[in-house]
């Protein structure tokens, strides 16, 4: 059972004061923990990039407690965005729209668009309502690494970079939000998440799938992202045992994330059975990869997930985590064992 708690008023007051002072606050959402700053304070938002080691041309998502503040951030709200907001907010959907003139470039990555979300986590709602404005917040981790789904993950990653860490228990969804961009009368899916393509089509009637050359940059869109420190590879489902056994016989310590128990034990293999339920697998994914990352293994093998829409967000994160990108190769090469 997911532990979702509400903060005391003292905790919320302290977090609001920290934001007003230009400091960073880590807080839970239903997706992952965010590292937040006052979105109207460019110097405060820059602290997010410094703490994460995040490139400044990567936009951040502005979190609001309800759509009533959209006019402060969005130049015009398309009808498609209104439909999506009515259906999915509060919830794990980020909508990219034309930015208002007053929004600073540090928030948008220098683009003419802004990404906005209304989270549903009760503690995020408490904080946003008490603050009364927008909080810019990417995930509370080092850039490119595993997103945090528990408060202790934030402490492990960022130390004292945040003045306050609000502990709201384990995130219920565990993967970052779905991101869509409103392009005139069309909507384009830019990042899969808990809100699926089918659900978006039900709300809209039509949906463009995947970014094109004109699509705005959005969080988590680089070829390599969401990655553990240990090299990781995706293995076809029917070969996971054989791959683990072969590497183990060579005396290499290997970590495995699978959807079932191993056929037999191996001396040098650390194995996690994450199960076959996509929602539970997603919720536990980053925590499981963190556990395997700390196991002192040479490599993490991940059993390939089913080709099913319910697994699209998980597959997207795994493919990026298994990609290797060098300074001279911005395209990325997915590490998939034959």
Position 323 in a domain = yes
Range of 164's domain?
9-209
Total count of domains within the chain: 2
Q: What was the pLDDT predicted at 173?
A: 98
Q: What was the pLDDT predicted at 333?
A: 37
Q: What was the pLDDT predicted at 5?
A: 60
Provide the strand spans (E) within the chain.
25-27, 34-38, 61-63, 93-98, 113-117, 135-136, 164-165, 178-183, 186-191, 208-209, 232-235, 254-258, 269-273, 299-303, 323-324, 333-334
Copy the structure tokens of residue 58.
Answer: 């990567």
Copy the structure tokens of residue 226.
Answer: 């969401």
Copy the structure tokens of residue 223.
Answer: 């070829």
Determine the straight-line distance between the first and last CA of the chain, rounded to whole angstroms.
37
The CATH number linked to 299 is 3.40.50.11030
Position 3 in a domain = no
Of 312, 68, 67, nearest to 200 by C-alpha is 312
Q: What was the pLDDT predicted at 264?
A: 87
Predicted TM-score (pTM) of this structure: 0.92
Q: What was the pLDDT predicted at 179?
A: 97
Of 5, 12, 6, 34, nearest to 135 by C-alpha is 34
Q: 17 and 161 share a domain? A: yes
Q: 160 and 249 share a domain? A: no
Q: What was the pLDDT predicted at 88?
A: 98
Q: 13 and 131 share a domain? A: yes
Q: What was the pLDDT predicted at 337?
A: 42
**Bridge partners of residue 232, in order along the sequence:** 300
Structure letter (DSSP) for residue 139: B
Q: 27 and 154 share a domain? A: yes
Q: What was the pLDDT predicted at 252?
A: 86
Position 116 in a domain = yes
Position 226 in a domain = no
C-alpha 217: how far from its chain's center? 15
Segments of the chain scoring below 50 in pLDDT: 1, 325-338
Q: 51 and 127 share a domain? A: yes
């Amino acid at each position: 059972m997911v532990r979702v708690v509400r903060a005391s008023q003292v905790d919320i007051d302290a977090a609001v004061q920290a934001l007003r002072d230009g400091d960073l606050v880590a807080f839970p959402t239903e997706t992952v923990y965010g590292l937040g700053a006052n979105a109207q304070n460019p110097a405060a938002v820059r602290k997010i990039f410094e703490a994460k080691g995040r490139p400044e041309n990567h936009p951040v998502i502005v979190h609001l407690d309800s759509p009533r503040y959209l006019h402060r951030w969005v130049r015009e709200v398309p009808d498609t965005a209104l439909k999506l907001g009515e259906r999915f907010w509060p919830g794990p959907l980020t909508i990219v729209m034309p930015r208002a003139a007053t929004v600073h470039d540090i928030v948008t990555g220098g683009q003419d668009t802004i990404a906005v979300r209304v989270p549903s986590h009760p503690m995020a709602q408490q904080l946003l309502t008490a603050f009364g404005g927008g909080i810019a917040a990417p995930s509370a981790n080092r850039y490119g690494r595993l997103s945090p789904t528990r408060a202790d993950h934030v402490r492990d990653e960022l130390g004292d970079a945040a003045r306050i860490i609000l502990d709201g228990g384990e995130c219920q969804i565990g993967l970052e939000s779905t991101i869509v961009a409103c392009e005139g009368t069309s909507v384009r899916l830019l990042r899969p998440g808990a809100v699926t393509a089918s659900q978006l089509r039900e709300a809209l009637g039509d949906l463009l799938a995947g970014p094109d050359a004109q699509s705005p940059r959005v969080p988590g869109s680089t070829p390599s992202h969401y990655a553990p420190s240990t090299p990781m590879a995706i293995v076809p489902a029917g070969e996971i045992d054989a791959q683990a056994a072969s590497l183990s016989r060579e005396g290499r310590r290997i970590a495995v994330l699978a959807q079932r128990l191993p056929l037999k034990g191996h001396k040098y293999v650390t194995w996690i059975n994450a199960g076959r339920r996509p929602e539970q697998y997603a919720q536990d994914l980053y925590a499981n990869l963190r556990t395997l990352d700390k196991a002192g293994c040479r490599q993490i093998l991940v059993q390939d997930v089913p080709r099913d829409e319910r697994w699209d967000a998980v597959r997207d994160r795994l493919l990026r985590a298994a990609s290797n990108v060098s300074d001279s190769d911005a395209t990325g090469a997915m590490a998939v064992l034959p």
